[in-house]
Structure 1
Amino acid sequence: MADRRTTARAGDVGEFVAGITDDRRREDTEAVVALMREVTGTEPRMWGTSIVGFGDRPYTTADGVERAWFAVGLSPRKAALVLYGVLPPDDDSADLVQLGPHSTGKSCLYVKRLADVDEPTLARLVRRAWEDEG
């Protein structure tokens, strides 16, 4: 089996965020990193070259192998800010309705503009996911 490309690595999260060339995406990323730092009480670290993760949450793949992963995280992609680990177990959650414009994928929440979503609801989603971590 090939090694995973997305693993925790040494890297300066602040430097990574500062290097985001799109001003709005950089500002949104800074705000979500600050929100996740406040909610989790932990410092972020880089996962791969473009994911910022908080905490540790091992998971087991379909082949039964346990892998390291983060509890909550984000990645500033060109089309949207991708948040990992924050989706409620029930995709029809009232929190997702209250959040505002977004889309979802397999365990991911996609937000095009942070200004368009309800930040207290986003904080609640992050808090709930973090508390479920332990």
Structure 2
Amino acid sequence: MAIKTQPTDASVPDFLDAATPARRVSEGHHIDEIMRTETGTEPVMWGPSIVGYGTYRYVSPAKSSRTEGNWPKVGFSPRKSAIVFYGLKDLPEGAALLPDLGTYTEGAGCVYVKRLDQIDLDVLRRLIRIAFGRGDDPPR
């Protein structure tokens, strides 16, 4: 079975400008700026609601319901109830650093943040670099 969420040609700035509530617009653009800096890549919309950076080939470990496809190395979605981050806890180094992030909750593969001002942006930057495969070194 293939992953259904795929890259699209939709505009990332238009998507971020349409976020609600109003604070999600500025938070979304700030996160986009951070992710562009830390990954060195331009964002791509994945499906209707995920802003992704980079790509990797995903193959689930489950033999009975094997899922595979391409997925962003890191990404986020500025949803009404929370900002959802993808990829930050997938690697052991990221999972180990996650408790230093600030106030968040976790889902199966996601990290949920209610407000950007409740997390440590330096830790977020480190988590992005780790997830993107740039290690814990600052970008040059």
Unmatched runs of 5 consecutive residues or more in structure 1: none
1:89: which partner in 2?
92
- CA drift of 1:90 comes to 6.5
Q: Distance in 1 between matches of 2:93 and 2:105?
A: 14
Unmatched runs of 5 consecutive residues or more in structure 2: 136-140
1:23-62 matches, cutoff 5 A? 23-61=22-60, 62=62
- CA drift of 1:91 comes to 7.7
Q: Does 1:103 align with 2:119?
A: no
Q: Distance in 1 between matches of 2:93 and 2:108?
A: 12
Call closer, same or farther: CA 1:92–1:54 in 2, change over 3 Å: closer
Q: Distance in 2 between matches of 1:132 and 1:66?
A: 24
Q: Distance in 2 between matches of 1:97 and 1:68?
A: 28
Call closer, same or farther: CA 1:12–1:107 in 2, change over 3 Å: same
In the superposition, the TM-score normalised over structure 2's length comes to 0.84
Amino acid at match of 1:81: I
Q: Distance in 1 between matches of 2:125 and 2:103?
A: 15
1:124: which partner in 2?
126
- CA drift of 1:21 comes to 3.1
SS of structure 2 residue aligned to 1:53: strand
Q: Distance in 1 between matches of 2:68 and 2:7?
A: 15
SS of structure 2 residue aligned to 1:35: helix
Q: Give identity over the alignment, percent.
A: 40
Q: Does 1:18 align with 2:17?
A: yes
- Kept in 1: contact 2:3–2:67 (CA 8 A): no
Cα RMSD between the aligned structures?
2.1
- CA drift of 1:66 comes to 3.0
Q: Distance in 1 between matches of 2:106 and 2:123?
A: 16
- CA drift of 1:4 comes to 4.5
Call closer, same or farther: CA 1:91–1:46 in 2, change over 3 Å: closer
Q: Does 1:114 align with 2:116?
A: yes
Call closer, same or farther: CA 1:103–1:14 in 2, change over 3 Å: same
- Kept in 1: contact 2:88–2:111 (CA 8 A): yes
Call closer, same or farther: CA 1:91–1:18 in 2, change over 3 Å: closer
- Kept in 1: contact 2:102–2:119 (CA 8 A): yes
